[in-house]
Structure 1
Amino acid sequence: MDFWPEFLASSSGREFVAGGLGGTAGIISGYPLDTLRIRLQNTKNGSAFSILRQMVAREGPASLYRGMGTPLASVSFQNAMVFQTYAILSRAFDSSVSVKDPPSYKGVALGGVGTGALQSLLLSPVELIKVRLQLQYTGHMTESEKGPIRLAKSIWRKEGLRGLYRGFGVTVMRDAPAHGLYFWSYEYIREQLHPGCRKSGEESLNTMLIAGGFAGVASWISCYPFDVVKTRLQAQTPSSIEYNGIVDCFKKSVTKEGFGVLWRGLGTTVARAFLVNGAIFSAYEISLRFLFNNGSIQMKETI
């Protein structure tokens, strides 16, 4: 009975809850564009518009949200852990900064790298299931593979733990440096837009949206080729093995389709990244202030 009041009374508890709310906002706001990204990465031709039109015509509008249950069910916990881990690591990597001051940019970057590497342990199986569902037509799925839970059980039965963690190595390669840039970009941009806000916490909603949006864009551009390789590796099943590892996937993809394949779907991803990460950081910051200020929120009206 006393768990939640005590949990929310702690700094880590409030970071956890705010991070979870931010992650939920991000998933809901950008999932259709994420589905288009996955389809673009795993096809050899077709524009985002043509794929969107075909999906809606053949599979219905609901196909844009196929597989959302998995990340939505886990994203609150995952994002909560990400922000809480980042808050701890950003200070641990540069303990010379007073706890009364915001973490240094060095601590922010290194904390982000560590957070990205750790979160891959949870994220890799979730993304594998999401990718498989996003790429499957309803008519092509067996009854045992319809829905995230049934698909996860099917993968476990046929491929075991190794199957659920297919693509784990490239997920770490994608997420560790990208998260370092992600958190550093957010902190740097919001401070430039609203000097002193890192310490005062008084930036506007516009500042949160813009800084979060550009941080998401920067991190995705920096890691996008790894994401393309990850999608192709995770889309494979035991009966359709085409690539034997990260390097083989990279070589075969470039040889067959040119270097442009490593950036296929980037436009859709950038649009989604700006929308989603603006929502994530805004929801996170607003929730955090609400929790720290006992239900009251104070923000500047302009940048």
Structure 2
Amino acid sequence: MDFWPEFLASSSGREFVAGGFGGIAGIISGYPLDTLRIRLQDTKNGSAFAIFRHMVFREGPTSLYRGMGAPLASVTFQNAMVFQTYAVLSRAFDTPVSPKDPASYKGVALGGTGTGALQSLLLSPVELIKIQLQLLKEGHMTESTKGPMKLAKKIWRKEGLRGIYRGLGVTVLRDGPSHGLYFWTYEYMREWLHPGCRKNGEESLNTMLVAGGLAGVTSWISCYPFDVVKTRLQAQTPSSLKYKGIVDCFKKSVKEEGYSVLWRGLGTAITRAFLVNGVIFSAYEVTLRLLFNNGSIQMKETL
């Protein structure tokens, strides 16, 4: 009974809870655009609008949210761990002079890189399930693919741990460096938009939204080719294995469809990234300050 009061009394506990709220807000706000991104990456033809129209009018509006259960069920814990791990690592790599001082930009970049690599262990199986559900067409669903848990059990029975963790290597390559750039961009931009806010924490909600959105866009552009390869590797099933690994997938995709395939769906991805990451950082910062200030929060009204 005393766990939650004690947990929230600690800095780590507050960062964990705030990260969870940020993750939930991000998933709900950006999932339809994520579904469009996945379908664009796995197809040779079609625009985002054409795929959107087909899904809404042929498969029904709920098809845009197919597979959301897997990331939503795990996102609270995953995002909470990401922000908590980042808070620890960013200070561990470059300890501030005072505990009240923010981590240096070097610590932010290194802490973000380590956080991204570590989170891949949790994220890779979740994204594999999500991608396979997002790519299911109406009428192709079976009893074993109706929901993330049933699909996970099916993959486990047929392929074991290797199947569940298909795409782990490329997920690490995608998330490590991009998370370093992600957190660095956020911290740099919020300080640029509102000098002194990293120390006094008094920036506006607009600053959080813009800095978070730009951080998301920058990180996605930096890692997008890896994400395309990851989607194609994780979309495979035992009966449709086309790629032997990361390099083979890259070579075959480029040979068959040209280098433009590595950027297919980027417009949808960065639109979603700006929206989702602006929401994530805003929800995280606001929740964190509410917890640290016992329900009160101070923010500037303008950018």
Q: Deviations over 1:172-193 (max 9, x none)?
A: 0000000000000000000000
Gapped runs of 5+ residues in structure 1? Answer: none
Cα distance in structure 1, aligned partners of 2:263 and 2:174: 14
TM-superposed CA distance for 1:130, in Å, is 0.2
**Matching of residue 244 in structure 1 with residue 236 in structure 2:** no
Question: In structure 2, what is the Cα distance between the partners aligned to 1:30 and 1:190?
Answer: 22
Matches within 5 A, 1:35-184: 35-184=35-184
Deviations 1:97-154 (CA, angstroms, capped at 9, x unpaired):
3212000000000000000000000000000000000000231122111100000000
Aligned equivalents of 1:80 and 1:191: distance in 2? 23
Following the alignment from structure 2 to structure 1, what is the Cα–Cα distance between the partners of residues 189 and 95? 23
Per-residue CA deviation, residues 147-179 of structure 1 (Å, 9 max, x unaligned), is 000000000001101000000000000000000
The secondary structure found in structure 1 opposite 2:38 is: helix
What is aligned with 2:259? 259
Query: Per the alignment, in what secondary structure is the counterpart of residue 140 of structure 1?
Result: coil
- Determine the C-alpha separation between the residues in 2 that align with 1:83 and 1:100: 18
Q: How many residues align?
A: 303
Mapped partners of 1:96, 1:51: distance in 2? 49
1:262 and 1:107 mapped to 2: Cα distance?
Answer: 31
**1:33 equivalent in structure 2:** 33
Output one character per residue of 1:252-286: Cα deviation in whole Å (capped at 9) or x when no partner: 00000000000000000000000000000000000
* SS of residue in 1 equivalent to 2:95: coil
Q: Identity rate of aligned residues, in percent?
A: 83
> What does residue range 275-294 of structure 1 map to in structure 2 within 5 Å?
275-294=275-294
Aligned to 2:9: 9
Instruction: Report whether the alignment pairs 1:227 with 2:232.
Output: no
Corresponding position of 2:270: 270
SS in 1 for 2:299: coil
Structure 2: runs of 5+ lacking an equivalent: none
Contact 2:7 2:13 in 1 (8 A): yes
Is the alpha carbon distance of 1:96 and 1:294 closer, same or farther for their aligned partners in structure 2, counting shifts above 3 Å? closer
Q: Report the AA paired with residue 244 of structure 1.
A: K
Counterpart residue identity of residue 282, structure 1: S
C-alpha deviations, 1:42-61, integer Å up to 9, x for none? Answer: 00010000000111122100
Pairing of 1:179-198 with structure 2 (within 5 A): 179-198=179-198
TM-score (structure 2 length as normaliser)? 0.99
| SS of the residue 1:49 aligns to | helix
Structure 1, 171-180 or 140-149: larger mean CA deviation? 140-149
3-state SS in 1 of match to 2:139: helix
Q: Is the 8 A contact 2:96 2:103 kept in 1?
A: no
Q: CA RMSD in A?
A: 0.6
Q: Normalising to structure 1: TM-score of the pair?
A: 0.99
Query: More deviation in 181-190 or 131-140?
Result: 131-140
- 1:100 and 1:61 map into 2 onto residues whose CA distance is 48
Partner Cα separation in structure 1 for residue 98 and residue 233 of structure 2? 44
